[in-house]
């Protein structure tokens, strides 16, 4: 936590102001800027944790208590702590950012606050963001000058009027060595700040010069809308630099995370559960203006795992909720290659991935120019599953009129089907592939199975966190015990009474029994209202470390049911759980009865026999319950 930071910094920002900032900051609003939250019941919210990689939401927010906590990785705190962790801000920077949001004028203990852009004790991030904001203003103003005519013409030729250029903050880096650098130095930004932020660089002679010159400029923003870098396009033939130049890696600009347009697209991405990944700045603009508000683009790098992470949190992409990711590609060879590479990436997506290829190999910007806004919307609407696209790409390379061609195409296509994360879809694709190849299903199925066993790593079930202390045996009884505990932890209101009716002794695995006992120790699941507090109380009641760790795991592990759990599901789960112990007791009892001499030990014999009858009756009832009757 930041106890030391508070003591240190409280001397600068007044304590009562910090308290006011904390009180006036809606934790849900602050966190919603970067993490999509949905209701977790009891007024709590949950989403995918930004601090560790996860597929089901264990990141909990309690607006009532103004705190957040992740059951997956143990991170937690208040709104200030969230900004510190998520945006890598210092304590002071976080308080300042929240104060800005809430419209609170901070008072500093040592003298009054100087002008916000030049205050030396501001944190580095805020200084670099301020320098970028000043640079945006500078480049925008330059766009209206005579020298910027090629930049204005570039935008106009691509269908962007003045309003569009303004909406995206487009600007122009003038034909000068150090105009921006001097401008920013005059505003109080230091030599080091301009170099660190990637806005200026030292020349050979050692003087500071502008990084970008004679280029059309796009400000690149983070999720919260702060400008953190620039994309710069070449305009002049005698410019021998690359077509696009981007801000280099800086403390605030990480190209593997950055998505152009995310600040404008994030709300629609979250609302529609859908994101469209395009290739350039003009494509993002064209899509947004054409009525596809969910478009974003990577900046000077291929779409990678970190981008997936950013999007998954917005999409709330979990095993239960599948967000849709749509890649648009040119129909050319490079685009096809990119699509096949995306197929490799796809294995990290839980959501469904689609490809939208323009029939005329036009990017969204060209398409909008040539055929209008509707054509861009149609392009996205006509998306096809990535698997279908990739299979077609492979098959098209072979001559299917020959036996050799068909067999070779099958051999090449089979690994793609074998890689499908969603195994239930494999038979469907085996049939489709057989149809496309004009072959029988049988040999295609064999080829897919062979390919699946050849890549055991990729085919394995999604990795779980390592099991706590004692390995949990992966057998049906163990699975159903886990499921029961998950219901008690995640859905206590629903599962409470039925869960509490089954005692710890019915749980075969000792760690499971320990968690069951902890639930009993805090008064049973029926008394709980759920949420973070409930799970923490169960965890605190656990007597051993393995059980504590397991509570954290089970609190976040998805239930093994499609859709919402209902009383019927709880009933079936609890019946299956008891079935194991009842059947083994029946077996033990039968063996004991065989060993009793009914003549000499008549009473014992009849008692055991009576017990057997009632157990068998119980077993019958459980079997009916497990079959789904309530």
Beta-bridged to residue 76, according to DSSP, are: 69
Among the listed residues 27, 37, 49, 437, the single contact to Zn ion using CB under 5 A: 49
Q: Residue 572 burial by CB count (10 A; 0-12/13-18/19+): exposed, middle or buried?
A: buried
Evaluate whether 447 touches 414 at the Cβ level (below 8 Å): yes
Distance of closest approach, residue 80 Cβ to Zn ion, in angstroms: 18
Contact segment (CB under 5 A) with Zn ion among 66-74, 288-296, 309-317, 571-579 equals: 66-74
Q: Which is nearer to Zn ion, 52 or 425 (CB)?
A: 52
User: Helix or strand or coil: residue 417?
Assistant: helix
Query: Could you tell me if 303 and 345 are in contact, meaning their C-beta atoms sit under 8 angstroms apart?
Result: yes
Q: Enter the tokens of residue 93.
A: 């920077």
Q: Which is nearer to Zn ion, 73 or 546 (CB)?
A: 73
| Residue of 14, 22, 24, 52 that binds Zn ion (CB under 5 A) | 52
Question: Given strand 171-173, what is the order of strands in its sheet?
Answer: 171-173, 215-221, 227-234, 244-246
Instruction: Choose among 135, 164, 155, 166: nearest CA to 235.
Output: 155
- Cβ-based nearer residue to Zn ion, 169 or 552: 552
Based on CB atoms, which residue is closest to Zn ion, 70 or 451?
Answer: 70
How many residues bind Zn ion (CB under 5 A)? The answer is 6
> Least distance (Å) from Zn ion to the CB of residue 54?
6
- Phi/psi at 577 (5° precision): -60, -45
What residues are paired with 117 via a beta bridge?
none
> CA-CA distance, 550 to 529, in Å (whole number)?
20
If the CB atoms of residues 75 and 170 are measured against Zn ion, the closer one turns out to be: 75
- Of 52 and 618, which has the nearer Cβ to Zn ion? 52
Q: Among 73, 141, 479, 561, which residue interacts with Zn ion (rule: CB under 5 A)? A: 73
Is 425 among the residues that bind Zn ion (CB under 5 A)? no
Q: Could you tell me which stretch among 67-75, 337-345, 587-595, 600-608 binds Zn ion (CB under 5 A)?
A: 67-75
309 is an interface residue for Zn ion by CB under 5 A: no
Q: At its nearest, how many Å lie between Zn ion and the CB of residue 48?
A: 9
How far are the Cα atoms of 283, 294, 409, 528 from residue 342, in angstroms, in the given order?
19, 19, 20, 44
Instruction: Report, in Å, the least distance between residue 56 CB and Zn ion.
Output: 11
47 near Zn ion, judged by CB under 5 A: no
57, 72, 351, 492: which one contacts Zn ion (CB under 5 A)? 72
Long-range contacts of 456-461 (CB under 8 A, 24+ apart): 458/347, 458/419, 459/418, 459/419
Site residues for Zn ion, 365-384, by CB under 5 A, read none
Q: How many CB atoms lie within 10 A of CB 2?
A: 17
Provide the CA 212 distance to its chain's centre, in angstroms: 33
Per CB under 5 A, the segment of 17-25, 48-56, 328-336, 492-500 that binds Zn ion is 48-56
> What are the angstrom distances between the C-alpha of 475 and each of 222, 469, 471, 573?
46, 18, 12, 15
Stretch that binds Zn ion, among 41-49, 312-320, 326-334, 620-628 (CB under 5 A): 41-49
CB of 324 to Zn ion, least distance (A): 25
70 binds Zn ion (CB under 5 A): yes
Least distance from Zn ion to the Cβ atom of residue 556, Å:
9
Q: Is 77 in the site for Zn ion (CB under 5 A)?
A: no
Of residues 193, 200, 133, the one with CA closest to residue 169 = 133
> Of residues 2, 10, 51, 604, which one binds Zn ion by CB under 5 A?
51
- Where on the chain is the footprint of Zn ion (CB under 5 A)? 49, 51-52, 70, 72-73
């Amino acid at each position: 936590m930041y106890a030391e930071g508070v003591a240190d910094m409280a001397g600068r920002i007044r304590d009562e102001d910090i308290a006011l900032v904390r009180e006036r900051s809606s934790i849900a609003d602050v966190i919603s800027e970067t993490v999509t939250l949905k209701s977790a019941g009891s007024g709590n919210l949950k989403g995918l944790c930004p601090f560790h990689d996860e597929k089901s939401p264990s990141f909990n927010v309690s607006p009532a208590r103004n705190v957040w906590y992740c059951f997956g990785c143990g991170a937690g705190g208040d709104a200030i702590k969230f900004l510190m962790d998520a945006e890598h801000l210092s304590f002071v920077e976080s308080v300042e950012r929240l104060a800005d949001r809430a419209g609170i004028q901070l008072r500093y203990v040592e003298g009054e606050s100087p002008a916000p852009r030049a205050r030396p004790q501001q944190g580095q991030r805020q200084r670099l963001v301020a320098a970028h904001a000043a640079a945006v203003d500078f480049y925008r103003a330059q766009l209206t000058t005579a020298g910027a005519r090629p930049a204005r013409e570039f935008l106009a030729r691509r269908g962007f009027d003045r309003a569009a250029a303004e909406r995206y903050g487009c600007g122009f880096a003038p034909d000068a060595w150090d105009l921006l650098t001097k401008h920013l130095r005059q505003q109080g930004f230091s030599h080091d700040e301009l170099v660190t932020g990637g806005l200026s660089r030292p020349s050979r002679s050692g003087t500071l010069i502008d990084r970008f010159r004679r280029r059309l400029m796009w400000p690149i923003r983070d999720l919260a809308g702060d400008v953190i870098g620039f994309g710069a396009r070449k305009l002049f033939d005698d410019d021998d630099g690359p077509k696009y130049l981007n801000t280099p890696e800086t403390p605030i600009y990480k190209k593997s995370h950055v998505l152009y347009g995310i600040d404008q697209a994030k709300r629609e991405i979250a609302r529609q559960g859908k994101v469209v990944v395009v290739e350039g700045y003009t494509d993002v603009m064209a899509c947004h203006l054409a009525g596809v508000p969910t478009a974003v683009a990577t900046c000077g790098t291929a779409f990678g795992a970190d981008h997936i992470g950013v999007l998954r949190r917005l999409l709330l992409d979990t095993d239960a909720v599948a967000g849709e990711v749509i890649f648009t590609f040119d129909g050319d060879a490079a685009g096809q290659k990119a699509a096949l590479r995306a197929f490799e990436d796809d294995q990290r997506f839980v959501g469904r991935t689609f490809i939208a290829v323009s029939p005329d190999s036009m990017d969204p910007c060209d398409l909008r120019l040539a055929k209008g806004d509707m054509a861009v919307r149609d392009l996205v609407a006509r998306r096809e599953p990535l698997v279908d696209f990739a299979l077609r790409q492979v098959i098209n390379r072979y001559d299917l009129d020959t036996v050799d061609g068909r067999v070779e195409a099958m051999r090449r296509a089979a690994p793609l089907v074998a890689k499908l994360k969603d195994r239930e879809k494999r038979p469907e694709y085996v049939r489709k592939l057989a149809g496309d190849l004009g072959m029988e299903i049988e040999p295609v199925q064999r080829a897919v199975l062979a390919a699946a066993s050849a890549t055991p790593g990729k085919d394995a079930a999604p990795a779980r966190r390592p099991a706590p202390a004692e390995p949990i045996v992966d057998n049906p009884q163990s699975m159903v015990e886990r499921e029961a505990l998950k219901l008690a932890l995640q859905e206590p209101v629903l599962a409470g009474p039925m869960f509490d009716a089954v005692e710890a002794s019915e749980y075969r695995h000792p760690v499971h029994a320990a968690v069951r006992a902890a639930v009993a120790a805090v008064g049973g699941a029926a008394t709980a209202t759920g949420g973070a507090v409930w799970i923490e109380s169960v965890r605190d009641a656990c007597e051993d470390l393995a059980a504590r760790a397991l509570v954290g795991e089970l609190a976040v592990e998805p239930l093994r049911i499609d859709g919402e759990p209902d009383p019927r599901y709880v009933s079936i789960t609890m019946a299956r759980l008891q079935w194991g112990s009842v059947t083994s007791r029946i077996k033990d009892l039968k063996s004991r009865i065989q060993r009793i001499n009914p003549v000499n030990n008549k009473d014992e014999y009849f008692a055991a026999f009576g017990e057997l009858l009632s157990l068998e009756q119980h077993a019958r009832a459980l079997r009916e319950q497990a079959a789904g009757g309530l």
